[in-house]
Structure 1
Amino acid sequence: MKTLKYKTVEFAIIFIILPISFALNYAPQIKLGIGLTGFVYIIYVLLKVEQKKFKLAKNLNFKVFFKHTLLKLIVIVAITTCFVWFTNPALLFNVMLTKPLLWLFILFFYSFFSVYPQELIYRTFYFERYLPIFKSKNVFLVINALVFSLAHLLFKNILVLVLTCIGGLLFALTYYKTKSTVLVSIEHAIYGCWLFTVGMGDMLGFPA
């Protein structure tokens, strides 16, 4: 399971073939079964093959992390608020203002049941398995952003693909620097929760 040939096939199935297949029209139950099977496989490889320990890393610099994340968030807030305001102002903060309980539920569900599994797959697993293969750090990070964007192909929305590609690059850089699934999950959750809050949730499969 550690040979280059095996990892190449593994990468193609998990990060290319499956995301493309999920964009096709077939039974959601089958998609769910395939997704759960793939996730179990990933956890098995992390624990048994890569000997990854799921524990909070020591000496994490939360102060620097939150400072950098806040600076990026300010830019994201400015751009996305203007975007919603000019494209469909009726959506601006709509769910938060009209359905606050639904808004809170979305933020909770998304943060714990969507973000963390995504980061286990697209950062922790991806970095543990494939970083030693690449000679170029930049190529490695760009490919991570591209396959993360491809995972959102099922939404069939060009804007979603662009946003998730940019987000994927930001998350890849954070994980590369911190080696922390927790920190990159926090960053991912912050940006994603803001998109739902500002009124861009509908394109990501949540009410807007």
Structure 2
Amino acid sequence: MMQKVVAPPEDVLCAGGTLSIPELSRPARAWRIAEMALLYVAAPFAVDQAVHREGIPVFIALLPVLAVIVMFLSVDRTFSLRRELTRGFSLRQFFYILLTFAVGGGIVATYVAQYHPELFLEFPRNRPETYTRIMLLYPLMSVLVQELVYRTFFFHRYGVLFGNWWWAAILLNGVLFGLGHIVIGTPLAVYGTMATGALFAWRYALTRSFWAVFIEHTLWGALVFTVGLGRYFFTGVGVLSWR
């Protein structure tokens, strides 16, 4: 029996590049839940073990997970990468992105400057050339991949599981995004990315725009490296060490 395909209603969470959503049977829903647990819970712990016990560089350890996700999207006839990457967002949303960053980023920067002055601006002051390279490469080498995996793929393949329960999807996405950073080995990296992950998921749910969350993620990542928190987000085997 052919699987019924319906156009995604506006109140169902999905990726901006979704062309249609299959109506999932109960076994199919159970499979996707198990699949999501394997990719977003089991895989980060496996990567953590591979990096810290076997000494495998983190980017190599991540390749099997990325290969699976690329395979899913490449054979999925309901997904359009072109549509995902050409979907824009409003000037109002851009203003909200900047406003959220100005307020939240200002609070973070003020806290570090006041309570950890020895860390404040240490990277741009002490290693300006490395800082510049990271500012240029971070969006392409890190943000691009993370947003495709955690927002585009997550909402396209698993958004249908939540229906109108969009807050559940956003909160779960934030938690899973934080778990994805356990390889870094610092509590701040996990809890901090849980908070920002929920913010990015919320923005994506509102805009269905990859570029909206790409810009917002890039801003917050740049803030981390600039104000002196980079050492808590890049540690471990195969990752830039700050210790």
Alpha-carbon displacement from aligned partner over 1:140-165 (angstroms, at most 9, x marks no partner):
11110100011111223222222111
Report which of the two structures shows the higher radius of gyration computed on alpha carbons: 2
Cα distance, 1:29 vs structure 2: 2.6
What TM-score comes out, normalization by structure 2 length?
0.77
Cα distance, 1:98 vs structure 2: 2.9
What TM-score comes out, normalization by structure 1 length?
0.89
With 42-51 and 27-36 compared, the bigger mean Cα shift is at 27-36
Q: CA RMSD in A?
A: 2.2
3-state SS of paired residue (1:29): coil
Query: Which is helix-richer, 1 or 2?
Result: 1
Structure 2 residue 177 is matched with structure 1 residue 187: no
Aligned residue number for residue 131 of structure 2: 103
Contact 2:87 2:210 in 1 (8 A): no
Alpha-carbon displacement from aligned partner over 1:107-130 (angstroms, at most 9, x marks no partner):
122211111101111100100011
Q: Rate the CA distance shift 1:52–1:9 in 2: closer, same or farther, 3 A.
A: same
Contact 1:15 1:151 in 2 (8 A): yes
Contact 1:141 1:173 in 2 (8 A): yes
How many residue pairs get aligned? The number is 207
Structure 2 residue 45 is matched with structure 1 residue 20: yes
Structure 2 residue 167 is matched with structure 1 residue 142: no
Q: Rate the CA distance shift 1:157–1:87 in 2: closer, same or farther, 3 A.
A: farther
Alpha-carbon displacement from aligned partner over 1:162-184 (angstroms, at most 9, x marks no partner):
21111011100111111122221
Q: Partner amino acid for 1:39?
A: L
Q: Which runs of 5+ in 1 are unaligned?
A: none
3-state SS of paired residue (1:51): coil
Identity %: 26
Structure 2 residue 138 is matched with structure 1 residue 113: no
Structure 2 residue 150 is matched with structure 1 residue 125: no
Aligned residue number for residue 7 of structure 2: none
Alpha-carbon displacement from aligned partner over 1:22-72 (angstroms, at most 9, x marks no partner):
3333224375444112112112212322532223334532x2232111111
Q: Which runs of 5+ in 2 are unaligned?
A: 1-23, 235-239
